[in-house]
Structure 1
Amino acid sequence: MPVRASSGIGRRCPVHSSSQRSPGSPDYEFRPPDDWSDFAGVVGLAYGGYDHSPDHRAVVAELLEPKRSLLARTADGPCATLAGYSLEMTLPGAGPSPVFGLGYVAVSPAHRRRGLMRELVRRTLTDLHTARAEPVAVLNSTEPGIYGRLGFGTASQAVSLAVPVEARELAEIPADGGPPLTLDVTSPAEAEAAVAAVCRGCLGERPGMLRREGAWLRRSLADPPADRGGAGRLLCMLATDGTGPRGYALYRLTAGWTRSYPRYTVSVHDLGATDPAGYALLWRALLDIDLGGTVTANARPVDDPVLALLTDPRSAAPTVRDQLYARAVDVDRALAGRGYAVETELVLEVSDPLCPWNEGRWRLITGPAEADCVRTRAAADLALTARELGSLLLGGGSVTQLALAGRVTELRPGAVRAAAAAFRHDPAPFCPVVF
């Protein structure tokens, strides 16, 4: 996805501009890929040897930005990969802002335990810092234990739901006085313009939301038949009024029968609405689909309104898990580039061995409209690592929880309370896109 060019953090630039060799691993060459074919073999092996369909490969190939990506190779060919993405993500109090996305960080089984993943990430972050490019890096983690060692913290969480037939009742909400809403079910391709409009309307709703246009929107709507896993085709339910779309739901059905009764599973892949009425109407319709049994949603915000709409949320068995991971490329620009809930002044002592330019003490001053973060020699109020700082960047992490776990050290009485009030964001961050 293109990022608007400007000076400073909005500048789009190649992350890796030349071939380099790691001094500690003379047999490995690090350079940008030519295209997705340089990644395909390594990614396929690292993720279990499954062959993706041609349609799937075409989608991920369209998203790849070769000049912003990196691979390690030997004389025998590529052996480790890192895809880089130019993203625009909503940050607390700052709206959509440039961030750098990492994906497909993979190492061939024959080259594991040699530090290749760490080296790929280190080179990427170093080049972002040198170029004064995006100040925040984000990723989705397949294995959550890995990226904390590289300074990435859990920046958002998601909840999975499984609403059984007997718990489908929703609370009534007052009429909003707007135009009457109607529902329509169509294919994702036919609904592309409507989905794009709703996504734009929801972009500033909460931190972590991505601008989805072009290839990123097409990926959200893609439905390769070979990747359905026995389920039906992807469907799009639209809530509209006389002025345009107010919500959408992407879902599919998987056939199932219980004692000769149809109990199809309704899997909700994505749902967005620009107002409460559209949101409630979509959920009511999904919970009342003909032949439908359990309605599942594997990734919703932890404070999703449906949890307040369900009269029996316990039966939906909500399960919370980690979702988006983030880290500061540059502490000063990352902290000054987001908004804060209250005015405060804090001195943070940051430990960041992977990005040594971030090490030291930083004075953060937050105000109603802007924030400032500069180096200082003043006594620190809080001590933390890059990992904990990453957890706070989108407003989802709890400073109090981290302090009680011993991962943030309070050096001045009251500093934890002050930081907790400043960093936390309501509503909670959430990213509907896996990249």
Structure 2
Amino acid sequence: MTADSGTELRTLRSTEWDTWFDTLERAFGGAPKAPGIRALWRTLTEPERALGAWAGDDCVGTAGAFSFGLSVPGGALVAAAGVTMVSVAATHRRRGLLTAMMRSQLDEVHRRGEPLAALIASEPDIYGRFGYGMAAYQLSAMIDTHRVGLSVPDGTDTVRIRYADPVASLDACEAVYARQVPQRPGMLVRRPGWERLAVVEADGSGRAGGVPLQCVLAERDGVTVGYARFRNRPEWDAAGPRGTVVLCDLEALDPAAHAALWRFLFDVDLTSWLSLPNRPADDAWQHLVSDIRRCQLRLRDALFVRVVDVPASLRARTYRTPVATVLQIEDSMCPWNDGRWRLTGDADGAECARTGAAPEVVLSARDLGCAYLGGISLTALASAGRVHELKPGALTQASAAFASDLAPWTAHAF
């Protein structure tokens, strides 16, 4: 298809991948990926889901999608397009290329029958106009481990922590991760190969300098019940060692394993700081520490969700409290969603169908994306003037029903 008078938008051909990826790298500052990391991204790219905008032989725009499953409230794993690698060359701004790619991509997601699309935005103000709503936060922290202590639960001492080779332990770690996915909304079911992204530098294929990746396993009776991967950045000053442990990822199957891993990270020799770049907003370690103020907490936007098929999406999740309401969804980008939908549901399941009944709550597709995983309340959106109640009490009921017990979170970028 033609995006503007001089640009062709088409599905990526396998022979064009290097040029396409070079365009993406330039748009994100020009720093090239290490060879091993670049090779892995090439393997993970789904060419049939990748778009390139071409001006002659020059690639001037990129967009792609990964085929994921996304965990939703209730534990269902819903087919979702992981939107990624979106860029427009600085030479071709303000020509409608981004809109054309987003339009083409949403149509393709709908044709494939995927109820959801999701992305992690480089700039959060871009994607709201295409119906993506900020649905999950990530928590970062910098913990002064010399001044902050831990209070661990009973059973922590029954967990053995041992070092493991990050590459050799991939299967054990991935099995733990897979068991965690249905437990928290926003987690990704990923295709084989994705687990290598966490350790590509550790096997030497992606080495770009820096501090080696380390891994520890939490075991009980010889069974792996958790893991942590991290980097130890040494530093010294006149008073002695003050290194930093940078946590890359951590998953555990029970509170004792979780606490044992955190206790290990707090106790790494010659370190004074523990850096957490990406953790769930309600991560349990916050209730183990002695002084939360010295943990320097910070929230930022993380996962953006786009409801591509309203009835399929709303039927796929469960609801914390019973709900029976009529939602009026405003969605010019996906007109098949636009209109009134009767939603009835509870903790056991839900039904959603078109209706001619009077609307009770009015919201945009973007706002539905915000609320879908249960981390952003409809009541909060209404207080910002973005969601509107037409029937008294309907908003409170719907907001309570959409809530999730656990904060939605995505463990890694894509």
Question: 4+ residue runs of structure 1 moved beyond 4 angstroms?
Answer: 224-230
Q: What is the CA distance between 1:271 and its match in structure 2?
A: 0.5
- TM alignment of 1:328-347, pairs within 5 A: 328-347=307-326
Match of 2:48 in 1: 67
Match of 2:276 in 1: 297
Mapped partners of 1:93, 1:294: distance in 2: 36
Match of 1:271 in 2: 250
Q: What is the CA distance between 1:154 and its match in structure 2?
A: 0.8
**Sequence identity percentage:** 37
Q: What is the CA distance between 1:82 and its match in structure 2?
A: 0.8
Match of 1:46 in 2: 27
Retained in 2: the 8 A contact 1:335–1:371? yes
Mapped partners of 1:351, 1:228: distance in 2: 48
**Secondary structure in structure 2 of the residue aligned to 1:145:** coil
Cα–Cα, structure 1 residues 117 and 212, in superposed 2: closer, same or farther, change >3 Å? same
Match of 1:138 among 110, 118, 127: 118
Retained in 1: the 8 A contact 2:78–2:115? no
Residues 48-86 of structure 1 show CA distances to partners (whole Å, capped at 9, x for unaligned) of: 111111111011111100011211111132111111110
Match of 1:123 among 104, 112, 129: 104
Q: What is the CA distance between 1:409 and its match in structure 2?
A: 0.8
Cα–Cα, structure 1 residues 363 and 319, in superposed 2: closer, same or farther, change >3 Å? same
Match of 1:96 in 2: 77
- Structure 2 letter corresponding to 1:162: M
Retained in 2: the 8 A contact 1:81–1:104? yes
Mapped partners of 2:307, 2:408: distance in 1: 17
Mapped partners of 2:205, 2:141: distance in 1: 26
Mapped partners of 1:274, 1:38: distance in 2: 43
Mapped partners of 1:79, 1:110: distance in 2: 8
Matched, 1:361 2:340: yes
Retained in 1: the 8 A contact 2:68–2:191? no
- TM alignment of 1:171-250, pairs within 5 A: 171-175=151-155, 180-223=158-201, 231-250=210-229
Retained in 2: the 8 A contact 1:332–1:374? yes
TM norm structure 1? 0.91
Match of 2:88 among 107, 121, 125: 107
Mapped partners of 2:371, 2:208: distance in 1: 37
Matched, 1:323 2:293: no
Q: What is the CA distance between 1:98 and its match in structure 2?
A: 1.3
**Secondary structure in structure 1 of the residue aligned to 2:318:** coil
Retained in 2: the 8 A contact 1:87–1:100? yes
Match of 1:166 in 2: 146
Mapped partners of 1:258, 1:371: distance in 2: 59
Cα–Cα, structure 1 residues 355 and 212, in superposed 2: closer, same or farther, change >3 Å? closer
Match of 1:155 in 2: 135
Residues 200-254 of structure 1 show CA distances to partners (whole Å, capped at 9, x for unaligned) of: 2212220111124521111122226797776410111111122410110110011
Instruction: Provide the aligned C-alpha RMSD in A.
Output: 1.7
Cα–Cα, structure 1 residues 337 and 284, in superposed 2: closer, same or farther, change >3 Å? same
Unaligned runs of 5+ in 1: 1-19
- Structure 2 letter corresponding to 1:362: W
Number of residue equivalences? 411
Cα–Cα, structure 1 residues 259 and 196, in superposed 2: closer, same or farther, change >3 Å? same
Mapped partners of 1:227, 1:66: distance in 2: 22
